[in-house]
C-alpha cells in the first residue's frame, strides 16, 4: 500500500496550497542558487574553492592540460609554436555549458566533447594537434591532481593554518589557567586549559603537515590509453621525458607506473588526510560543546546581538558552530568510505569509480568550512575562568586521590592504592573535604612525615598538582610556531 500525501487534505488544505505555490514554474539553478540539491552549493558553499572545484574550474584545468600537451609538443618539435598558441587561445574560449551540450547531443563522451570544442575553434592546420597522443584520463587525472593540489595549497591549507594560529594563541594565552582534567567525563587530576588546547595544537599541526605532504604527492600522467605510452611512442623518442615535460607545466610529476589512470593511492591518501584534519577539528568542537554544557560552563560560543538560540526558548545559547563542525566531521568519515571503495579498478581501468569520484572535491569544501567556522568561533571563544576554578574545586579535594596514593607508596606503604581509595570513600560519605580527612588520619601522617615542602604544598592545594601542563603548553606553541611554513 502506498503512502499518500493527500490523505489529510481532501479539500485542499492551506498547507497544501503553500506546497503547490511556485513549485512547478520555479527558476533554474542557473538563475537561483537555492534551486541547488546539494548543501555544498547553497548552505556550505566556499566561494574561494570554486576556482578549483566547480565544474567550470574543472573544464579550465582540463583545457590547461590539453594546452600543456600541445605546448610541450611544440617544444619537442612536433608542431609549430604558433599552433600551440592558437590552441591555447581557443582553450580559453571553451565553455562548460557548450562542452556539456556537445557531450549530451553528440559524443556521449566528456573529453571527446572538450577536444572537439577546442578543435572547432582552431585552424585546420592546428586541428590534428589537439588532444593528440592523449587518452581522456591523461587529461582528467592530471587536471584533478593539479586542481586538488592547488585547492589544498591555495585555500584549504592556508585556512587550516590560520585556524591553527588561533588554537596556538589560545594555548599560549591559557597556558597557566588551571582546569580540571577529565577522563571518562569524570574529574581526574588538574591540568591547565592551555594544556588541553595544546592537544589540538599538536594534532592539528600534524594533520596540516600530513595534508600538505599528501597534496605534494598527487600525481599526473601522460602515458596514453593503457599507460604503456603506446601512442606517444609512435612519435616521440623518449615518451617518459615528454610526459615529464607536460606534467611540469602544471607543477606535477608522474607516478612510477600508471595504467589508463594514475594509481588511486595518491588521491586516497590525500583524502585520508582531509578526513583526518576534519576529525581533529570535530574532536576539538566536541570538547568545546561539552565544556559549554549548562552545568560546566567553562567556555561559550560568541553570541551576536539579534541572534536566536532557539526559535522558541528565548534563553538558549547553543554551541551551533561546534555542533556543525562535529557534524561535518561525521560526513567526512562517510565520504572517505567512498574513496576507499574507489581504490579498485579492473585491469587497465574501469569507470566504476568515475561518478563517485566526482564528489570527492566536496570533502575539501566541508573541511574548509570547518576550518573557517572553527577559527571564527575559537577566535572569539568566551572562556569563563571563574567556572574553571569552581569546577576544579567542586570535588572538595578528592581529585587528590592520586598524589596521596603515590606519596604513600613512595613512603613505603605496602597497600597505598587501597588506603587512598578508602580515604576518598570516607570523604565522599562524610561530605567532608578530602584533605581534612587525609590530615587527620594517623596512619597517613606517619608515612607523610618526610614529605618535601613541594609535596606537602601540592596536597594542600590541588591546583598546584598540574605537573608540566603549563610548560608543555608553551613548549608546543614554540614548536609549532617555528616548525612549518605553508607557502
Task: Tell me: does residue 194 bind a second copy (CB under 8 A).
Answer: no
Question: Which lies closer to a second copy via its Cβ, residue 173 or residue 345?
Answer: 345
Task: Tell me: does residue 328 bind a second copy (CB under 8 A).
Answer: yes
Task: Tell me: does residue 440 bind a second copy (CB under 8 A).
Answer: no
Catalytic residue status for 184:
yes
Task: Tell me: does residue 270 bind a second copy (CB under 8 A).
Answer: no
Task: Tell me: does residue 178 bind a second copy (CB under 8 A).
Answer: no
Task: Tell me: does residue 376 bind a second copy (CB under 8 A).
Answer: no
Candidate segments 1-9, 162-170, 375-383, 437-445, binder of a second copy by CB under 8 A = 1-9
Report in angstroms how near the CB of residue 417 gets to a second copy at its nearest: 6
Catalytic residue status for 356:
no
Selected from 80, 162, 165, 272, the binder of a second copy by CB under 8 A is 272
Task: Tell me: does residue 279 bind a second copy (CB under 8 A).
Answer: yes
Site residues (CB under 8 A) for a second copy, limited to 87-106 = 88, 91-92, 96-97, 100, 106
Quote the cell numbers at residue 57: 574550474
Report in angstroms how near the CB of residue 442 gets to a second copy at its nearest: 19
Site residues (CB under 8 A) for a second copy, limited to 218-257 = 218, 224-235, 239-240, 247-252, 255-257
Number of residues that bind a second copy (CB under 8 A): 257
Task: Tell me: does residue 65 bind a second copy (CB under 8 A).
Answer: yes
Selected from 101, 316, 380, 456, the binder of a second copy by CB under 8 A is 316
Task: Tell me: does residue 383 bind a second copy (CB under 8 A).
Answer: no
Selected from 82, 101, 307, 430, the binder of a second copy by CB under 8 A is 307
Site residues (CB under 8 A) for a second copy, limited to 460-479 = 465-469, 472, 476, 479
* Residue of 310, 327, 356, 430 marked active site: 310
Selected from 82, 101, 241, 352, the binder of a second copy by CB under 8 A is 352
- Contact between residue 236 and residue 78 where contact means Cβ atoms under 8 Å apart: yes
Contact string (CB under 8 A) for a second copy, positions 120-149, x = contact: ----x--xxx-xxxxxx--x------x--x
Enumerate the active-site residues. Answer: 184, 310
Amino acid at each position: 500500500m502506498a503512502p499518500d500525501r493527500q490523505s489529510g487534505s481532501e479539500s485542499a488544505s492551506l498547507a497544501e496550497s503553500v506546497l503547490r505555490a511556485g513549485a512547478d514554474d520555479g527558476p533554474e539553478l542557473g538563475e537561483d542558487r537555492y534551486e541547488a540539491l546539494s548543501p555544498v552549493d547553497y548552505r556550505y558553499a566556499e566561494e574561494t574553492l570554486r576556482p578549483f572545484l566547480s565544474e567550470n574550474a574543472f573544464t579550465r584545468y582540463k583545457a590547461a592540460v590539453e594546452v600543456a600537451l600541445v605546448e610541450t609538443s611544440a617544444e619537442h618539435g612536433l608542431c609549430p609554436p604558433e599552433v600551440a598558441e592558437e590552441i591555447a587561445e581557443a582553450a580559453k574560449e571553451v565553455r562548460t555549458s557548450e562542452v556539456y551540450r556537445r557531450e549530451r547531443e553528440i559524443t556521449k563522451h566528456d573529453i571527446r566533447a572538450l577536444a572537439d570544442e577546442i578543435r572547432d575553434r582552431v585552424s585546420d592546420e592546428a586541428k590534428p594537434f589537439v588532444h593528440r597522443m592523449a587518452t581522456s584520463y591523461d587529461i582528467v587525472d592530471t587536471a584533478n591532481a593539479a586542481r586538488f593540489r592547488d585547492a589544498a595549497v591555495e585555500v584549504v591549507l592556508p585556512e587550516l593554518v590560520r585556524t591553527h594560529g588561533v588554537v596556538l594563541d589560545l594555548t599560549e594565552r591559557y597556558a597557566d589557567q588551571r582546569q580540571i582534567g577529565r577522563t571518562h567525563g569524570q574529574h581526574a587530576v588538574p591540568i591547565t586549559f592551555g594544556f588541553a588546547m595544546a592537544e589540538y595544537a599538536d594534532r592539528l599541526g600534524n594533520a596540516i603537515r600530513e595534508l600538505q605532504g599528501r597534496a605534494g604527492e598527487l600525481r599526473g600522467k601522460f602515458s596514453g590509453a593503457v599507460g604503456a605510452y603506446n601512442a606517444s611512442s609512435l612519435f616521440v623518442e623518449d615518451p617518459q621525458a615528454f610526459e615529464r615535460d607536460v606534467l611540469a607545466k602544471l607543477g606535477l610529476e608522474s607516478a612510477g607506473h600508471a595504467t589508463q589512470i594514475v594509481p588511486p593511492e595518491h588521491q586516497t591518501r590525500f583524502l585520508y588526510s582531509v578526513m583526518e584534519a576534519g576529525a581533529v577539528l570535530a574532536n576539538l568542537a566536541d570538547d568545546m560543546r561539552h565544556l559549554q554544557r549548562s552545568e560546566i560552563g567553562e567556555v561559550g560560543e560568541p553570541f551576536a546581538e539579534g541572534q536566536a538560540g532557539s526559535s522558541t526558548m528565548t534563553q538558549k545559547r547553543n554551541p551551533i558552530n561546534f555542533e556543525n563542525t562535529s557534524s561535518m566531521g561525521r560526513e567526512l568519515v562517510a565520504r572517505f568510505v567512498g574513496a576507499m571503495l574507489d581504490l579498485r579498478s579492473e585491469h587497465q581501468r574501469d569507470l566504476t569509480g568515475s561518478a563517485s569520484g566526482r564528489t570527492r572535491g566536496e570533502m575539501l569544501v566541508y573541511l574548509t568550512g570547518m576550518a573557517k567556522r572553527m577559527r571564527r568561533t575559537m577566535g572569539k571563544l568566551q572562556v569563563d575562568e571563574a567556572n574553571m576554578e569552581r569546577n576544579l574545586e567542586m570535588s572538595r579535594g578528592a581529585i587528590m586521590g592520586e598524589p596521596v596514593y603515590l606519596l604513600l607508596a613512595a613512603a613505603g606503604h605496602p597497600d597505598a592504592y587501597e588506603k587512598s581509595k578508602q580515604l576518598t570513600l570516607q570523604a565522599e560519605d562524610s561530605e567532608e573535604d578530602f584533605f581534612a580527612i587525609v590530615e587527620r588520619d594517623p596512619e597517613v601522617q606517619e608515612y607523610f612525615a618526610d614529605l618535601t615542602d613541594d609535596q606537602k604544598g601540592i596536597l594542600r592545594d590541588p591546583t598546584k598538582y598540574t605537573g608540566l601542563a603549563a610548560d608543555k603548553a608553551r613548549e608546543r606553541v614554540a614548536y609549532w610556531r617555528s616548525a612549518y611554513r605553508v607557502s
